[in-house]
A = this chain, B = another copy of it.
Amino acid sequence: MRVLRAKTRTLYDLLPQPVLERVLATGTSRSFKDGQIIQQRGDDREGISVLTDGQIVAGNAGLDGSFLVSALLRPGETFGEFTVMAGLPHTHTLWSQGETTITFIKGSLARRLMDEEPAFAHALLTIALLRNHELLEFLDAQRRLTLPIRIAQLLLTSVDSKARADTVECRQEDLAVTLGVSRVATGKALKRLERDGMVELGYGRIDLPDVQGLIAKVEADDPLFMLPQI
Contact = CB atoms under 8 A, between A and B. Distances in A.
Interface of A: 9, 41-42, 60-63, 68, 70, 81-82, 85-86, 88-89, 91-92, 114-115, 118, 121-122, 124-126, 128-133, 135-140, 143-146, 180, 221, 223-224
B41 A85 contact: no
A111 to B, nearest CB: 10
Given A128-B128, A224-B42, A70 B136 contact: yes
Top 6 A-B residue pairs of the complex, sorted by shortest distance between their CB atoms? A128-B128, A82-B129, A135-B135, A42-B224, A125-B125, A62-B144
Given A114-B122, A118-B115, A125-B85, A91 B130 contact: no
A172 B132 CA distance: 28
Contact of A133 (B60, B82, B114): B82
Given A91-B136, A92-B140, A128-B128, 15 more contacts: A60-B140, A62-B143, A68-B143, A70-B143, A81-B129, A85-B122, A85-B126, A86-B130, A86-B133, A91-B137, A115-B118, A118-B121, A125-B128, A128-B129, A139-B180
Tell me if A's interface is mostly helix, strand, loop or mixed: helix
A33 B145 CA distance: 31
Contacts of A221: 63
Nearest to A126: B85
Nearest to A143: B68
A145 B64 CA distance: 10
B60 A144 contact: yes
Nearest to A88: B133
